[in-house]
Amino acid sequence: MDPVVEVTDLVVDHGRRRVLHGISCTVGSGSGSVTGLLGPSGSGKSTLMRAVVGVQTVRSGQVRVFGQPAGAPQLRRTVGYLTQAPSVYADLTVRENARYFAALYGLPAADADRAVADVGLAAAAGQLVADLSGGQRSRASLACALVGRPELVVLDEPTVGQDPVLRAELWARFHALAAAGTTLLVSSHVMDEAGRCDRLLLIRDGRLVADDTPAAVRAAAGTDDLDEAFLRLIRDRQPTEPSRGADR
Amino acid sequence: MNPRILAATVGRVLRQLRHDRRTVALLVVVPALLLTLLYYMYGDQPATGGQPALFDRVALIMLGVFPFVIMFLVTSIAMLRERTSGTLERLLTTPLGRLDLLFGYGIAFGLAAAVQATVASAVAYWLFDLSTAGSPALVIAIAVLDALLGVALGLLCSAFARTEFQAVQFMPVVVIPQLLLCGLFVARDEMAGWLEAVSNVLPLSYAVSALTEVGAYPEPTTTLWRDLTVVAGAVVAALVLAAATLRRRSG
């Protein structure tokens, strides 16, 4: 099957600084999977994700999603996007937020309420987002990203600020979505989450360091510890340009 | 534009407003309080030789100016929050169209302005005996149109502001010159030629001219219709420009 996301020679500049140096990779096959986008803070993860959902100005190269150019109007019903900072309305309740995003996809309030329950916020549904904890806030944001039942879900650091129990629950939820046929692209800078992915994209300083299954990454680096594997892969491939960028 | 998405967006903006009771109270009460101030400032200055009493003249103009200024400020901040909170970026990845968002704000704040203008006009006419030759309903309608002008310019200006500080600075840049040159302080035909020329391209001048027409004539005049057309045209132009500056892709 064709890949869900196909990135070819993607170059992105922020001002005069180059953030992505000609990245080429694919994500998903259309049968449901979780791809982890791993890399240190400032490596270009968010920028790559923004390019996939079509809100990033790109210098050159192309990104195709389901065969369409990223951001094409036809894709707006099939792609769900979670920004790194929780992007929900602080002056609305969790339920009102989810119902608004559901309405944008033409879905009824019941679907919104289910999405809220799915991220474990049923008890807080009537609370204003402004009154929630950081972790709850990002789950409210996640509910809004998932409410439209997208076929491709792009999640920028969805588990930051969550306690270990919730983190496990969220990953179980991602796997359930993948099992139901959804393609997920999940970024993280926590290596223990890498092991939970079907496939890994390791990125550093805007360049792809590895694109493989977790097992293959471990084998290539000759260690069982993904954290250590990532370090070894980076050392093996000293970047030609040592500049480090900010996030996005 | 998609009617369902537009309606959802109007509902969402109004819900945000409803959760902010203090803002709602300020929106409704402040114009009425400012009219009270005007009433006591000008209350004992009677009508002279064919001119309406000073209070009647100033209060009538203010019924249009208050919604314009207030809605400009409220909208620029609301839209800036939409940008800085990341909700705008997310919205642009959904089926929502740019005009759905802009008209959503326009309609929601237009409804809020209708409530505001009705309360302010009721206070002016009943409490302070404002007298106009034309109909109070027309005054309210013009006030709502002025509010929409404020909303549209606010949406446009917020595209050029990256911080709240900048957004607030657009008020002296965009609003105050229009206020100074609208004919309230110096009649427009008595201004220096170049000032009058500037005044002629500022939409608020036409909004004020429309209100003055309602104050002077019992029936809508040709000048009134021209003025309203100009203001409505400025609203549409500002909204279209705002849509053009709202880019899906950013750096």
Cα within 13 Å of Cα(A80), Cβ side: 27
Between A142 and B49, where is the model more confident? A142
**Is there a contact between B204 and B65 (Cβ–Cβ < 8 Å)?**
yes
| Residue at B163 is within a domain | yes
Q: Is the CB of A96 less than 8 angstroms away from the CB of B90? A: no
Helices in B43-97 by DSSP H: which ranges? 54-84, 87-91
The sign of the CA dihedral A15, A59, A54, A237 is: negative
B219 interfaces chain A, CB cutoff of 8 Å: no
| Residue at B228 is within a domain | yes
Q: How far is CA A145 from CA A34, A82, A102, B18, in A?
A: 16, 6, 9, 25
Q: Is the CB of B89 less than 8 angstroms away from the CB of A55? A: yes
| DSSP annotation of A75 | G
Average pLDDT estimate for A27-40: 90
> Percentages helix, strand, coil for chain A, rounded to the nearest 5?
40, 25, 35
pLDDT tens per residue, range A187-245? 987 777 888 899 999 998 999 988 999 889 888 888 888 888 888 887 776 554 444 44
Q: How far is CA A126 from CA A112, B85, B96, in A?
A: 13, 21, 25
Q: How far is CA B99 from CA B2, B22, B92, B108, B231, in A?
A: 9, 29, 11, 14, 19
Domain count, chain B: 1
**Is there a contact between B208 and B183 (Cβ–Cβ < 8 Å)?**
yes
Answer yes or no: is pLDDT of B222 > 50.
yes
Q: Is the CB of B248 less than 8 angstroms away from the CB of A55? A: yes
What phi and psi values does residue A145 have, to the nearest 5 degrees? -75, -30
| Residue at B22 is within a domain | yes
Q: What is the mean pLDDT of chain B?
A: 91
Average pLDDT estimate for B208-236: 94
| Residue at B189 is within a domain | yes
B3 interfaces chain A, CB cutoff of 8 Å: no
What phi and psi values does residue B169 have, to the nearest 5 degrees? -70, -20
The span from the first CA to the last CA of chain B, in angstroms, equals 26
Across the A:B interface, residue pairs with CB atoms under 8 Å apart total 82
Q: Is the CB of A104 less than 8 angstroms away from the CB of B95? A: yes
Tokens matching residue B244: 């053009």
Which residues does chain B have within 8 Å of residue A77's beta carbon, measured at their own beta carbons?
A: 95
Answer yes or no: is pLDDT of B49 > 70.
no
| DSSP annotation of A62 | E
| Residue at B250 is within a domain | no
| Strands, sheet with A152-156, edge to edge from the N-terminal-most edge strand | A79-82, A152-156, A183-188, A33-38, A199-204, A207-212
* pTM score: 0.89
| Residue at B165 is within a domain | yes
Q: What is the ipTM of this complex?
A: 0.89
| Residue at B154 is within a domain | yes
Tokens matching residue A105: 């996809």
Structural domain that includes position B153: 3-245
B18 interfaces chain A, CB cutoff of 8 Å: no
- Of residues A83, A92, A148, nearest to B89 (C-beta): A83
Closest residue on chain B to A98 (Cα): B12
Classify the phi-psi angles of B30: left when phi > 0, otherwise alpha if psi is within -120 to 50, otherwise beta: alpha
Instruction: Map tokens 């040592």 to a residue.
Output: A242
| Residue at B102 is within a domain | yes
Q: What is the pLDDT of residue A221?
A: 83
Q: Which of B106, B120, B126, B137 has its CA nearest to residue B31? A: B120
Q: Interior CA angle at B43 toward B41 and B48, to 5°?
A: 115
Mutate to test the interface with A, among B90, B100, B247 (most CBs of A within 10 A): B90
